[in-house]
Amino acid sequence: SVPIKHSGRLRLRAVNYNRWGGVGGKDTAVDLHILLLVSLPGCTPQRCGRAVTDSVVTREEAQVLRRLAERGLALAGSEGGASILDLHSGALSMGKQFVNIYRYFGDQIGDVFTQEDFQLYRDVRGRIQAVIAETFGLDPTLMYLTKPTFFSRINSTAAKTQHDEYWHPHIDKVTYGSFDYTSLLYLSDYGSDFSGGRFVFMDQNGNRTVEPRAGRVSFFSSGSENLHRVEKVTWGTRYAITVSFTCDPAHAISDPALP
């Protein structure tokens, strides 16, 4: 595996997409001819790629968001190694299923989260949206949050259901449908908070690996040019936020707000 270089600055790694779905890496951005059923000017990907930056979210902000995730996930959690908390829909892992955290815990939510927590979450989401738009040459007003957008907590506990099996290679556009751009904000550090758990882009000419670090943002176009997987966590706990965007307003979701 080859780590993606960043040095605190954005580095877009564009990818050539050929008619057979093969992928070949280049270090400079290239325009792509993409066949799409619906083209939405200002947002629909005209070039594909990936980038990593440490300059959008501070480590201190990441630590605050991690504490938010820890408080929310302390209410329940998966029996397997992967739990999620979705502030938008209210979905929270509980055993082998999910509950709506706002309905299930009701008035207790005001003791778990604050308005300041949600404001920071919205601010960070806006910054991530802005940097994706700048990097890919998009109009940020034509990008919309889409589901699922969620906190994740992963540890080395054995999987109990398919929802716990986070490590399989996949393409976000295929898995989720509405995704056009995917981002990951990491809330814990590879090597000190956990081992394993690195994010691996699977390219024909060699894997490219992102090592999680609190405050680091990795983002990419969601199509077949960015087949990826997450390594199994072998010890410790990995926290992150997946923030996903669509070009189709029909698949838009709103920012979360306390009931």
CA 199 – CA 99 distance, rounded (Å) = 28
Neighbouring residues of 171: CB distance < 8 A, sequence distance ≥ 6: 222, 223, 224, 226, 227, 228
Q: Position 60: which residue type?
A: E
Beta partners for 151?
85, 241
Whether 153 sits among the annotated catalytic residues: the reply is no
> Of the listed 208, 213, 216, 238, which one is catalytic?
238
Contact 258, 118 (CB under 8 A): yes
CA 159 to chain centre: 21
If you search the block for the tokens 């054995």, which residue do you land on?
Answer: 158
Distance CA 57, CA 185 (A): 8
Q: Which residues are catalytic?
A: 238
